[in-house]
Amino acid sequence: MRGLRPLWSPDGRKIAFVRSGDVYVMNADGSGSTENLTRSPWNEGWFAWSPGRTQ
């Protein structure tokens, strides 16, 4: 999967990244599907995992 600014989740199970101006998340081991979290008309470029690891 190609993307920019990859960021591992605090528990190491997920990776979030930017592609085509949206934020996506996928399992770190490559299993399952990639989920588009934003679907925004604006370019999303910065994101962070929540401290509680739920968002």
Q: Strand 35-36 to strand 22-27: parallel, antiparallel, or no bridges (unpaired)?
A: antiparallel
Domain extent listing, the chain: 1-49
Each residue of 2-16: pLDDT tens digit? 777 889 998 899 999
Instruction: With residue 16 as reference, give the H or E element that holds it.
Output: strand 14-19
Q: What are phi and psi of 41, to 5 degrees?
A: -70, -15
Instruction: At 44, list the tokens.
Output: 């999303």
Label residue 30 by pLDDT band (50, 70, 90): very high
- More confidently predicted of 40 and 30: 30
> Rounded CA gap, 47 and 16, in Å?
9
Chain CA centroid to CA 31, Å? 14
